[in-house]
Amino acid sequence: MLELGFLHIVQWLLTPVLVLLACALAYALWMTGVVAMEAWQRRVRGFALLRGVDALTLEELELQALARVEPLRLLSRVTPMLGLIATMIPLGPALQSVAHGDGRAALSVFSGAFAGVVLALTAASLGLVLHSVRRRWLLAELLAVKRARAQEGA
């Protein structure tokens, strides 16, 4: 009885996980465009990611920098887990189909499961690259602010 209840809960989770994966991929693609635009603006105009540099303390600037990269960090860390969930949920019914000799049904389930993990890994990879680039930019800006404030204080 308990196992049957868990099975129903797990099967119910597949749709929300797939929706989250679609949202994660859309967010990763959108952020790719945002970071590409920021890269162009940095090259052309010296665009700064941190805002209100003069009015904020260094701790507040560090918090602002963390807030700018945290969504990408979460994307790169959580999305592979969602992909694993999207792969594991259909495997139970697929293995049952194989056990009953219905290979075609198992193949269709496996195809959908692997598509979910590929999309998840794509979103996670984009998130990791974008996180790394943005983090480096923000750390360089923080270092520049610290140096400028040290020179003002000297």
| Range name among 37-41, 96-100, 111-115, 142-146 with the lowest pLDDT average | 96-100
pLDDT number for residue 89: 87
Cβ contact 68:138 at 8 Å: yes
Tell which wins on pLDDT, 118 or 112: 118
pLDDT digits (tens, 9 = 90+) for 84-99: 999 888 887 777 777 7
27-34, long-range: CB within 8 Å, 24+ apart, which pairs? 27/71, 27/75, 27/123, 28/75, 28/79, 28/122, 28/123, 28/124, 28/126, 28/127, 28/130, 29/126, 31/71, 31/72, 31/75, 31/126, 31/127, 31/130, 32/126, 32/130
